Amino acid sequence: MNKPWIIWSLSALCAILVFGAMGLITRHTLGLEKERAHAEARAELEERIRLSLWRMDTAAAGILAEENNRPAWHFRDVDLRKTTRLTPLNLDVPENIKLHFEVKQGQVSSPQLNGWTQPGSQWDAQLSPVQQGVKLTQQQQNNWRTLQGLLQNDGTFQGWQAKRNHQSQLTDDNLGVISAIARRDPAKDALIEPAKPSQEVVEAVQQRKGESSAAVRSSVAYQNNYNVAEKSKRQEIVKKSVDNRAMQQKAWSGGAKMKKSSTKTAPSVQAPAAALAEAGDAEIGKKLAESQELLAGPHISSLRPIWLAGELLLVRDVQDQSGRRVQGVWLDAEALKETLLRNIRDLLPNAELEPVRKSLRVMLGEEPDPNEQDPMVMAALPWRLIPGEMAVVEPVGWTPMRKTLGVAWIGALFAALAAVILLRGVVKLSERRASFVSSVTHELRTPLTTFSLYSDMLAEGMVQDETKQREYLQTLRKESSRLTHLVENVLAYSRIERGSARARVENVRVSALIDRICERLRQRAEEACMELHCEVSPEVAAREIQVDTTAVEQILFNLVDNASKYASGKDDGKVIELRALETRQGIAFQVCDQGPGVPKSEQRKLFRAFHKSAQEAAHTKPGVGLGLALCRRLARALGGDLRIVDQEKGACFELRLRV
Amino acid sequence: MMKADPVILVVEDDAAVRQGVVDSLSFSGYQVLSAADGREGMEQALRASYQLLLLDLVLPHHSGFDILEALRKERPGQPVIILSARGEEADRVKGLTMGADDYVVKPFSVRELLARVDAVLRRSSERIVGSDRYPFDGGEIDFSRREVSLENGDRKELSERESDLMRYLIANSGRAVARDELLRQVWRIDPKNIETRTIDMHVAHLREKLGPTGANVLVTVRGKGYRVG
């Protein structure tokens, strides 16, 4: 495969494949990074949502607990003009509440009315200055009228006539429904009976407590399960907060002795008590009996939140010696919503609460609650949290992943660049070597042709003239030395390339070295009709140097050979000078001629191996462009150097040797 | 009339090889001209009168291919043998497609060189001979009998020179052959300083012998020379 375009095409193909693969890896990695960032953002958002729901449920559970703790008699409407014994509800309306109310036998009353019936009556005028301070504000009066209309609204719940409590004397559907909801079996109430988390949820939560992977935590299924589990926990805690029936009963029993009219719950508790008493555990039996007494008091259900015509009410069913009635709290939904959202602004600035209006069948426990598994619904109040945030976070800047990819790309580009440079060098070298082989072949074939022709003619007796014969033999000898010189150079260069050139260093005087090689150099110069002048000062001649004389001889012969070839023209001086000089580091030999010299543009190329093609050789002088490259390498192998020296006329080469 | 010894031009830059080739050709009885570089070789190849050119490809100033290119334009049909140290197939193919008759790779022996020179010279003379009979509109030439037979039954004898001239023009039919080329290849004389009237005279005689259609068979191309076909 000696065609450069094939090499370059294959290299380009390899580069395309490598960079294509790198591109795919980069794309995939960035995609993964983006996905991971999204998952992390989703997990973060879910965490904030859970925290927000906890905060809101905690706040709402507080309100529920506080209102649940109110005894039934706090809800009575007391006429300010007739009594001074007021309940807290007579004196004030708590925050986030519009009014408290009680519905008994179709009559709606409110402890905050304080005997007020309607505007324009003489009620205001009969109040003392102190009593004026606790009377209804204009807003509360308006609220009262709204509440009356709300609770006595006809025709809305026609289908629920059958559900009315027979003892209830209310003539409107709303009140019947409210009464039914307030008396509903708590076991069917999703708010009271928390949803049991599935096995997967439990496992997910346990896994989270351990060292679960980020991938598992970021998965949507895991988050949903986890939210459901959290919701069930919130429901449990809310239930504990609001389910204070025992406390209420205790408050009731602390007053006048009640006649135990209801024993609904007794059998379930009496049975174990009797069993324990029979078993001889008198202490525990006694305590259980006390509890039974407490539980056998008046019936008050827990407050239950419901939406009625867009208003949020808390209602409970009360049954005592005064009879059966519905008590309730009309919450200021807007104000409460604002309060709850204000608590979570730091977590979800754009969050909203959306009312969860259950159908009546659901509220009455006849159908499963569709919101039972919705983790966004509050446990305490019928509101769904709308987070108002998007879990989209694009990775920005130089993330560690991007840095790694960047480094990989830079590395790949540098590798590709290095490969291109290396390949270019290899291709160029290959081309130069091919050219060199062609040149060497040419240089070898030409003298071989002379050998073949001359030996044939001499052998065949085609050359009779003696002078001609001598001329032929001289030519043969010259060609033989030309061949020898060429072969020597090629072999020497090959040895240096392989690193197997062994220097045979010896101590020798400069004068002895010059004497040893001068004759051969002079002979070469004479072949080109030139003279060799050797100039060595006595001081330098006496210097002793440690050097490989064969290498020095080869270098100097090449230099003289070049001078003989290139500076033997008609217009050139016929003298080649060989000088030995002293330098700082040691000795320098200069070979200078008076020929055309070396153009500046050629000087750099001159020492490069195989720089000369056969065609160039034909245009200039025979040779393969190997001599000077070989000389420089030999000189450097000797610890010296070979360089061209500037001079006015001709070329001058200097071999520097360290002593 | 005796023909002169063939003249061979040797274009070779290596002095020793050139000397050997020239001496061996001279010893074998050829007249030899020589040129030492591309410039001199180009000049001689285009101007000198010779029957065969021995050409080296790698030369200073002009390469052997440049000389071949110039010869193809100026002297088509000139026999050439390439002597080259470049033995690659691509070089040999290129040389042969550019009009060389043979390609000798260095190193070669004297015997091989002389055999190839002889073969090319023989082929070039045979190229002139071609077929023994040449029918034309109005008659036929029989080169073996050097005779023209016309359709009206007349028979005209051709001289040796007329026969050679007609052969050469038929061998190169379709192109105008210059008078200098005819002098070199048919008359074997250097066209330098020689009047070409002798050619015109021979052509006129030939046309006369070819009958009434002679002027259509042997056409004069103004400024170029003569053409058959």
Q: In this predicted model, what pLDDT tens digit does every residue of A105-129 receive, in sequence order?
A: 777 788 877 766 655 556 566 666 6
Q: Is the pLDDT of residue B182 over 80?
A: yes
Q: CA-based angle A141:A145:A147, to the nearest 5? A: 110
Enumerate helices (H) and strands (E) in chain B, giving the number of each: 9, 11
pLDDT in tens, A305-320: 888 878 888 988 888 8
Nearest-Cα distance to chain B for A476, in Å, is: 9
Average pLDDT over chain B reads 85
Q: Residue A618 is nearest to which of B16, B58, B108, comparing CB atoms?
A: B58
Using the beta-carbon criterion (under 8 Å), do A618 and B60 form an inter-chain contact? yes
Using the beta-carbon criterion (under 8 Å), do B20 and A447 form an inter-chain contact? no
Q: Is the pLDDT of residue A642 over 70?
A: yes
Using the beta-carbon criterion (under 8 Å), do B27 and A441 form an inter-chain contact? no
Q: Lowest mean pLDDT of A267-271, B177-181, B189-193, name the range.
A: A267-271
Nearest-Cα distance to chain A for B43, in Å, is: 17
Report the C-alpha gap between A402 and B207 in whole angstroms.
94
- Hey, is the C-beta of A437 within 8 angstroms of any chain B C-beta? no
Q: Is the pLDDT of residue A163 over 50?
A: no
pLDDT band at B12 (very low <50, low <70, confident <90, very high): very high
pLDDT in tens, A366-389: 788 787 778 889 988 999 999 987
Mean pLDDT of A632-653: 86
Number of residues assigned to chain B: 229
DSSP code at position B114: H
Mean pLDDT of A606-632: 65
Q: Is the pLDDT of residue A227 over 70?
A: yes
Nearest chain A residue (CA) to B16 = A450
**Selected residue with higher pLDDT from A82 and A262:** A82
pLDDT in tens, B92-129: 898 888 888 999 999 999 999 999 999 998 887 665 54
Nearest-Cα distance to chain B for A427, in Å, is: 21
Average pLDDT over chain A reads 76
Nearest chain A residue (CA) to B108 = A449
Chain B residues whose CB is inside 8 A of the A456 CB are 24, 109-111
Using the beta-carbon criterion (under 8 Å), do A615 and B63 form an inter-chain contact? yes
Nearest chain A residue (CA) to B112 = A453
Most confident region among A2-6, A77-81, A413-417 by mean pLDDT: A413-417
Task: Check residue A335 and give its pLDDT.
Answer: 92
B-interface mutation test, from A452, A457, A464, most B Cβ less than 10 A away: A452
Using the beta-carbon criterion (under 8 Å), do A442 and B13 form an inter-chain contact? no
A-interface mutation test, from B40, B91, B110, most A Cβ less than 10 A away: B110
pLDDT in tens, A575-584: 899 988 888 8
Q: Is the pLDDT of residue A234 over 50?
A: yes
Task: Check residue A264 and give its pLDDT.
Answer: 39
A277: tokens are 């008493």
Nearest chain A residue (CA) to B62 = A619
Report the C-alpha gap between A272 and A268 in whole angstroms.
7
Mean pLDDT of A267-271: 41
Minimal CA–CA distance to A4: which of A425, A505, A487, A506?
Answer: A425
DSSP run (H or E) holding A403: helix A400-459
Nearest-Cα distance to chain B for A538, in Å, is: 42
Nearest chain B residue (CA) to A460 = B110
Using the beta-carbon criterion (under 8 Å), do B58 and A617 form an inter-chain contact? yes
Nearest-Cα distance to chain A for B27, in Å, is: 7
Task: Check residue A37 and give its pLDDT.
Answer: 84
Q: Is the pLDDT of residue B176 over 90?
A: no
Name the pTM for this structure: 0.49
Task: Check residue A568 and give its pLDDT.
Answer: 72
Nearest-Cα distance to chain A for B16, in Å, is: 6
Q: Reduced to 3 states, what is the DSSP secondary structure of residue A581? A: strand
**Selected residue with higher pLDDT from A246 and A292:** A292
Report the C-alpha gap between A465 and B166 in whole angstroms.
45
Using the beta-carbon criterion (under 8 Å), do A617 and B108 form an inter-chain contact? no
Nearest-Cα distance to chain B for A452, in Å, is: 6
Chain A residues whose CB is inside 8 A of the B20 CB are 449-450, 453-454, 457
Nearest-Cα distance to chain A for B108, in Å, is: 6
Mean pLDDT of A327-346: 91
pLDDT band at A418 (very low <50, low <70, confident <90, very high): very high
Mean pLDDT of A430-456: 83
Q: Is the pLDDT of residue A191 over 50?
A: no
| CB contact at 8 A, A157 and A173 | yes
Task: Check residue A611 and give its pLDDT.
Answer: 58
- What single string gives the DSSP state of each residue in A58-119? HHHHHHHHHHHTS-GGGG----TTT-S---HHHH---TTEEEEEEEETTEEE-TTTTT--ST
Nearest chain A residue (CA) to B111 = A456
End-to-end CA distance of chain B: give it in Å, rounded: 29
Using the beta-carbon criterion (under 8 Å), do B106 and A446 form an inter-chain contact? yes
Mean pLDDT of A551-570: 84
Using the beta-carbon criterion (under 8 Å), do B60 and A462 form an inter-chain contact? no
Chain B residues whose CB is inside 8 A of the A446 CB are 14, 17, 85, 106
Chain B residues whose CB is inside 8 A of the A624 CB are none
Our measurement of the distance from residue B118's CA atom to the centroid of its chain's CA atoms, rounded to an integer in Å, reads 14
Identify any residues that bridge with A23 across adjacent strands, giving them in sequence order. none
Task: Check residue A11 and give its pLDDT.
Answer: 87
Report the C-alpha gap between B210 and B229 in whole angstroms.
14
Nearest-Cα distance to chain B for A491, in Å, is: 21
Mean pLDDT of B9-15: 91
Report the C-alpha gap between A401 and A33 in whole angstroms.
8
> How far from A355 is each of A48, A139, A310, CA to CA, in Å?
20, 24, 9
DSSP code at position B151: T
Residue indicated by tokens 């995939």: A28
Q: Reduced to 3 states, what is the DSSP secondary structure of residue A506? A: strand
Report the C-alpha gap between A653 and A566 in whole angstroms.
13
Nearest-Cα distance to chain A for B110, in Å, is: 6
Q: Is the pLDDT of residue A187 over 50?
A: no
Q: Is the pLDDT of residue A509 over 70?
A: yes
Using the beta-carbon criterion (under 8 Å), do B21 and A448 form an inter-chain contact? no
Using the beta-carbon criterion (under 8 Å), do A449 and B107 form an inter-chain contact? yes
| CB contact at 8 A, A459 and A491 | no
Task: Check residue A449 and give its pLDDT.
Answer: 92
Write out residues 610-639 of A within 8 Å (CB-CB) of B: 614-615, 617-620, 622
Identify any residues that bridge with A323 across adjacent strands, giving them in sequence order. A320
Task: Check residue A500 and give its pLDDT.
Answer: 58
Pairing of strands A311-320, A323-331: antiparallel
Mean pLDDT of B43-62: 87
Chain A residues whose CB is inside 8 A of the B59 CB are 618
DSSP run (H or E) holding A290: helix A282-295
Task: Check residue A454 and give its pLDDT.
Answer: 94
Task: Check residue A341 and give its pLDDT.
Answer: 93
Mean pLDDT of A607-619: 58
B-interface mutation test, from A449, A472, A475, A481, most B Cβ less than 10 A away: A449
pLDDT band at A159 (very low <50, low <70, confident <90, very high): very low
Q: Is the peptide bond before B107 cis (omega within 30 degrees of 0)?
A: yes
Using the beta-carbon criterion (under 8 Å), do B61 and A454 form an inter-chain contact? no
- Hey, is the C-beta of A453 within 8 angstroms of any chain B C-beta? yes
Mean pLDDT of A398-419: 90
pLDDT band at A600 (very low <50, low <70, confident <90, very high): confident
Chain B residues whose CB is inside 8 A of the A614 CB are 58, 85-86
pLDDT band at A253 (very low <50, low <70, confident <90, very high): very low
B72: tokens are 């193809």
DSSP run (H or E) holding A305: strand A304-308
- Hey, is the C-beta of A438 within 8 angstroms of any chain B C-beta? yes
Share of chain A above pLDDT 90, in %: 14
**Selected residue with higher pLDDT from A420 and A488:** A420
Mean pLDDT of A69-89: 76
Chain B residues whose CB is inside 8 A of the A442 CB are 58, 85-86
Q: Is the pLDDT of residue A326 over 50?
A: yes
Mean pLDDT of B140-151: 88
Number of residues assigned to chain A: 659
Q: Is the pLDDT of residue A285 over 60?
A: no
Q: Which residues of chain B are at the A interface, by a Cβ-Cβ cutoff of 8 Å?
A: 13-14, 16-17, 19-21, 23-24, 27, 58-61, 63, 85-88, 105-111, 113
| CB contact at 8 A, B143 and B168 | no
Mean pLDDT of A262-283: 44
**Selected residue with higher pLDDT from A114 and A598:** A598
- Hey, is the C-beta of A128 within 8 angstroms of any chain B C-beta? no
Task: Check residue A286 and give its pLDDT.
Answer: 55
Task: Check residue A270 and give its pLDDT.
Answer: 43
Mean pLDDT of B49-73: 88
Using the beta-carbon criterion (under 8 Å), do B24 and A457 form an inter-chain contact? yes
Q: Is the pLDDT of residue A413 over 60?
A: yes
- Hey, is the C-beta of A575 within 8 angstroms of any chain B C-beta? no
Nearest chain B residue (CA) to A444 = B85
Q: Residue B109 is nearest to which of A450, A456, A475, comparing CB atoms?
A: A456
Chain A residues whose CB is inside 8 A of the B85 CB are 441-442, 445-446, 449, 614
